[in-house]
Structure 1
Amino acid sequence: MRNPEAATDLIHRIGGALVRDPDVVELPWEALALVVTVEPGVVSTSGYAYDERRRPIAFTPSRGSGLVELFRELQEATSDPGGRRWAACLVQVRRATGKMTMQYEYDDVDRWKVTPDNLDTMRAGLCPAE
């Protein structure tokens, strides 16, 4: 990791921005999963809010949340000494505990991509464990 102190700070800022996002605040969520892909010139975000019965509600963070910029910075801060950067990131949050986890994917940008063929299994699989 190129800059662990900056990465830690960014992770905390991302968590705060995500749970305070106006498009998330109004959802009845107990858990969140957000998939972020960062490619040259393009950052995409898509997520699910899960209610108390683990039913998924699709969401995208609002444009004004600042998350896109934070994820660009996080990708730089978490690059390896050779400059290799992750292509996709999975963020999972549990409301009851406040626990947030992040996983990085360096090779397969589509690892957490939801498609018509995997819709049900991927939505269930992205939900953080209790």
Structure 2
Amino acid sequence: MNIKDEVLMDIAQLFLRCSDLIDYEWKEVTFVFEFGEGCTSNSGFLYDGEEITPAAASIEDEQLLLDNTLEQLREDIYQQCGEKFNQLLFQMENETKRFKIDFEFDDPKRWAITPSNMFEMREKLRPKFD
């Protein structure tokens, strides 16, 4: 799978435009996007030391821009390797703007955040940039 660095950098810039990242203090952030038949959902966490705040990735004045961009990435990857990812994991460190993007092709619930596992997942998904 070959994804151009510019594409990944553009995606990271879109995340930085999300309302929750603008409105709240954070040191690290995690978002999980889940892709279904014709729909996309996301949830995540803002980490500020020991303070953890649930978050969603949405750009206030362009509600569908991030979703559509990630759907296009999903389609581009499908064209390259014949598979569509079920989930996308985005993590970023605020100070350095380092980020990671990972894909899940097999287990559609690998990074799923639900009411019953929210406390477990917020620690499991905490970004580590060591």
TM-score of the superposed pair, with normalisation by structure 1 = 0.86
Partner of 1:78: 77
Gaps of 5+ in 2: none
Deviates more, 1:93-102 or 1:18-27: 18-27
Partner of 2:12: 15
**Contact 2:11-2:69 at 8 Å conserved across structures:** yes
Partner of 2:52: 56
Task: Look up the equivalent residue of 1:60 and give its one-letter code.
Answer: A
Shift of 1:59: 1.3
Shift of 1:4: 2.7
Shift of 1:90: 0.6
**Contact 1:10-1:70 at 8 Å conserved across structures:** no
1-structure distance, mates of 2:81, 2:31 = 27
**Contact 1:48-1:56 at 8 Å conserved across structures:** yes
Instruction: Give the SS at the match of 1:67.
Output: helix
TM-score of the superposed pair, with normalisation by structure 2 = 0.86
- Cα gap change, 1:114/1:74 in structure 2, threshold over 3 Å: closer, same or farther? same
Which aligned runs of 4 or more in structure 1 are off by greater than 3 angstroms? none
Partner of 1:93: 92
1:46 aligns with 2:48: no
**Contact 2:89-2:101 at 8 Å conserved across structures:** yes
- Cα gap change, 1:24/1:106 in structure 2, threshold over 3 Å: closer, same or farther? same
**Contact 1:30-1:51 at 8 Å conserved across structures:** yes
Out of 21, 24, 31, which is 1:24 matched to? 21
Partner of 2:66: 67
